[in-house]
Structure 1
Amino acid sequence: FTLYPGFSEILTGGETSSVSLLYLVLSLPMLITLVVYFRYVMGFFMRNFERQADLYSAKVMGGASSIISSLEKIALFSGKSRDLPSWHHFSIGQRVDFLWRTVKEKTLLKKHNRFVLISFFVYFLSLCVLGYALNFGPVKEGMKYSILKKVLIERIKKEPDNLTIYYNLAMVSQQMGDDKEAIHYYDRIVERDHSQAGALNNLAWLLVTGTDTSPEELHRALNLARRAVELKPEPEFLDTLAEAYFVNGNREEAVRVIKRATERATGNRTYFEGQLKKFLGEE
């Protein structure tokens, strides 16, 4: 998937304010993620590491009474509520209550150490899964296209006659699986400029491969594909034309055109040969 030439210029329009807005939009998800990460993930581990330290100190000192006394004094002299927690600390009241439990539960330190270890393992595993999803899974692509689409929509409000923006919007929508919206944008292009071979071809392809395309739209797709091939007789465009002939019931023309596409193809000939078999009914 390649965006139309000049895409970066379209996004920014050469304006400093637009460039700043673009980078702000792109960085906003990362900033939100960092805030959530430190508030909840790091906060969770900091609180439990602190609790782990409290329990270990109680073990080393032979009991929790000295630590409890120190914590109560801190609460008293600080003038703050002993029951007021923060994002990275349990409240003094919570710390004291947990330490008192060591009197009855001698294995509490061991249990808490196991809890922290399991939590850290889950955290590490989640990081691996998330890292894979963001770098190799569909999440990364979805986020990228979603951001691109928002920026393009804002840009087209300023340049409603810029067909290049419409083309990129159509391509992004197509990549996101929103074929109806892609068709809408391609329609806007071909209505204004009948010489846009790429838009003609892509619109024709979406129509002939759609699941609910009417006979009238299939016939229109054939005309669009013909026009695209007249402008640019490339193998991919010929393939669209062959598919259009096929769905319109003209197998003979579909076979003739796909053979022409196969002859012109410099790569991926297997695909075109598969198309030929389909049109011949050999699959």
Structure 2
Amino acid sequence: MFGNFIYYIVVLLIYSTWQPMEETGLDIFFSLLTGFCLLAVFAGVTWFSFYRMAEKIHNAGLARIDQRFTSTVTRQSVLAIALFAVDIYGLNLSVMAGRIPLFIHLPTLQALVFLCLFSLHLVIIWFWAYPVYQRIYRSDLSRREYIRSNISFSIPVLLPWLCLSGLLDIINVLPFEQPRQLLSTTWGEIGYFLFFLLAIAILGPALIQKFWRCYPLEPGSDRGRVEAICRRAGVKYANILYWPLFGGSMITAAVMGLVKKFRYILVTRALLQFLSPEEIDSVIAHEIGHIKHRHLLLYLIFFAGYLMLSHAGFDLILPALVYITPLYRIIDYSGMNPADFMAILYSLFLIFSFIIYFRFIFGYFMRNFERQADIYVYSLFESAKSLIKAFEKIALFSAQSPDKPNWHHFSINQRVEYLKKCESDRTWILRHNRKIRKSITLYLAALILSGMLSYSINFGETGQNLTSHLIKVALLKEIDRTPDNYELYGMLGDFYHNRKNYIEAAAAYKNALHLMPDSSKILNNLAWLLVTCEDQELRNPVESLDYAIKAAEIETAPHILDTLAESYFANGNISKAIEAEKNALRLMPADRGYYEKQLKRFQATLGVED
């Protein structure tokens, strides 16, 4: 079930990181028809996979068929993600949908539509998986309830994104400029994200328990035992709820909520039905262990940590990409826009880093936090024998092999064996707690170092120098790849100009003009360089005026007329400079104050001469 969380987040990353720079030329009807055909083929393959499994279910052992069932669901889910990526990257459906006026103003609504498209793929999997699920687990759950339980369990992982993105849409639609300006800054974005992450972590459980259709556990012996254990541990909560997950047929419990006002303890009917009172006590003690060790808060830190580590990781990988020559050959061979190619690389980096991080780092802490919650039982009881019996019953009723681990839990046998170690030697409890403290310390140290590195790269002098070097290398490599592209020489000239490498800038601009003599932008930039640069030997007002006049003949724009005025002024033709600057002002430039200041400077000089 936890795998569905990963699937939805990966799909959200695929959707949100794709920013194509140019049109693909695909027809909307072709894209829609192709997408429908792919969906139909996917449905057929999924049906056939589970049909074959259902036919062979009697000839295979229960544990083996359970493993095949799980692997088939996983394989089809991964295929669903791949088809979704084709819809976004290949068929360009998100770009086409983005032309709809409603989606232009409310992009979150468009994202929800595409998430529903992915959910349709998963519903197809669950629809055809149901008969096999029913026969393996001997469940009387209806197909509709089976699908609904899968959806309701998975969707809340998107709640933080939905609130974060939805409110941002509202802010952008409202006629208030100050909030938009604040959120356009780096620190504004960080503050907004952290605020909402904390707010959802605190308030989210109140929404999720409604979404899961939980309802209060009625007064009686079962509720009384849970309340007694919580009082004994000193844990406060908002309510104890029935958790109707898969009709309440799973033997499980959970706790959610950082603060007591929005903290809920969840139990299923199967848990209360099949476990003895002492076993129920031990399971609740396990959930209390999560609260006592602040695991929910640590999960929040780990989630925020992924964002920091992935950002810092990409800052380090980006420089390496510039030097990987085969990438340029791939771009040439594919005919892709380099910006689109980099957008795909960025998306792939985020997706694979997310999978690796949650599979290995987050998964490591989840497994060990579960073990830490297991051994918390010794804080409330003298023995963990009741918890061991509860695990054995869970293995018996779940039809899953007790030796089957997953990325977020140790196997039942592994958990039982560790508890048996603790039964004979309590120092194993201290060892595990010490292991977790060391692991968290190491993780936080890595997080701090990556944060410092990311800050240095993005805001420090070292980062600025590195960025400048990368831009230069990328431009030179691109020029080698497409030597007839005059715009690249112009960009190289702008780069050198900004770095005050005036000789190299002038050479780059002249190379650009050799390829495109009538580029008003490059003519203007070269004219401005020759009339304003600090290198007196390079200054050439006469040549500058020639370039400026030609640029003004091609395009009449305020900044071009300002360059013309500056060139006239440098050549001593003050009246022409004033005339050109007045013409620039008549074009109503955005930075009117600058042009007025220029005009006053020219007029003051003319007054002195007179």
TM-score normalized by structure 2? 0.29
Higher RCO, Cα 8 Å, sep 6+:
1
Provide the rounded CA distance (Å) in 2 between the counterparts of 1:65 and 1:173.
Answer: 73
Report if the CA contact (8 A) 2:562-2:595 is conserved: yes
CA deviation vs aligned residue, 1:39-74 (integer Å, no higher than 9, x gap): 35763332222222111100115579989xxxxxxx
Report if the CA contact (8 A) 1:173-1:179 is conserved: no
Q: Which residue of the partner structure matches residue 19 of structure 1?
A: 336
Change (3 A) 1:65 1:170: farther
Gaps of 5+ in 1: 1-6, 10-14, 68-77, 79-86
Question: How many residues were matched structurally?
Answer: 225
Q: Which residue of the partner structure matches residue 77 of structure 2?
A: none
Q: Which residue of the partner structure matches residue 83 of structure 1?
A: none
487, 491, 496: which is aligned to 1:167? 487
Report if the CA contact (8 A) 2:548-2:560 is conserved: yes
Report if the CA contact (8 A) 1:205-1:221 is conserved: yes
Q: Which residue of the partner structure matches residue 395 of structure 2?
A: none
The aligned amino acid for 1:196 is: S
Provide the rounded CA distance (Å) in 2 between the counterparts of 1:104 and 1:19.
Answer: 54
Provide the rounded CA distance (Å) in 1 between the counterparts of 2:530 and 2:383.
Answer: 74
Aligned residues: CA RMSD = 5.3
Provide the rounded CA distance (Å) in 1 between the counterparts of 2:338 and 2:586.
Answer: 48
Query: 1:280: Cα distance to partner?
Result: 4.1
Report if the CA contact (8 A) 1:200-1:224 is conserved: yes
Report if the CA contact (8 A) 1:238-1:260 is conserved: yes
Q: Which residue of the partner structure matches residue 35 of structure 1?
A: 352
CA deviation vs aligned residue, 1:76-105 (integer Å, no higher than 9, x gap): xx9xxxxxxxx9999x9xx999x8464489
343, 350, 373: which is aligned to 1:56? 373
Q: Which residue of the partner structure matches residue 81 of structure 1?
A: none
Provide the rounded CA distance (Å) in 2 between the counterparts of 1:8 and 1:168.
Answer: 21
Query: 1:192: Cα distance to partner?
Result: 4.7
**Matching of residues 220-235 of structure 1 within 5 Å:** 220-235=543-558
Query: 1:233: Cα distance to partner?
Result: 3.8
CA deviation vs aligned residue, 1:138-163 (integer Å, no higher than 9, x gap): 99xx79x959x948954x55653x4x
Q: Which residue of the partner structure matches residue 363 of structure 2?
A: 46
Report if the CA contact (8 A) 1:239-1:258 is conserved: yes
- Report SS of the residue matched to 2:344: helix
The aligned amino acid for 2:528 is: W
Change (3 A) 1:175 1:242: same
Provide the rounded CA distance (Å) in 2 between the counterparts of 1:246 and 1:42.
Answer: 66
The aligned amino acid for 1:32 is: F
Q: Which residue of the partner structure matches residue 185 of structure 1?
A: 508
Provide the rounded CA distance (Å) in 2 between the counterparts of 1:37 and 1:220.
Answer: 55
The aligned amino acid for 1:236 is: H
Q: Which residue of the partner structure matches residue 254 of structure 1?
A: 577
Q: Which residue of the partner structure matches residue 273 of structure 1?
A: 596
Provide the rounded CA distance (Å) in 1 between the counterparts of 2:561 and 2:591.
Answer: 14
| Residues 1:238 and 2:561 aligned together | yes
- Report SS of the residue matched to 1:45: helix
Give identity over the alignment, percent: 25
Provide the rounded CA distance (Å) in 1 between the counterparts of 2:514 and 2:578.
Answer: 30
Provide the rounded CA distance (Å) in 2 between the counterparts of 1:51 and 1:186.
Answer: 61
Change (3 A) 1:146 1:59: same
537, 542, 558: which is aligned to 1:214? 537
Provide the rounded CA distance (Å) in 1 between the counterparts of 2:428 and 2:533.
Answer: 66
Answer with 48-57 or 242-251: which moved more: 242-251
511, 521, 524: which is aligned to 1:198? 521
Provide the rounded CA distance (Å) in 1 between the counterparts of 2:601 and 2:408.
Answer: 63
- Report SS of the residue matched to 1:19: coil
- Report SS of the residue matched to 1:211: coil
Provide the rounded CA distance (Å) in 1 between the counterparts of 2:383 and 2:494.
Answer: 64
Provide the rounded CA distance (Å) in 2 between the counterparts of 1:188 and 1:100.
Answer: 75
Gaps of 5+ in 2: 1-21, 25-331, 388-402, 606-610
Report if the CA contact (8 A) 1:179-1:206 is conserved: no
Change (3 A) 1:39 1:212: farther
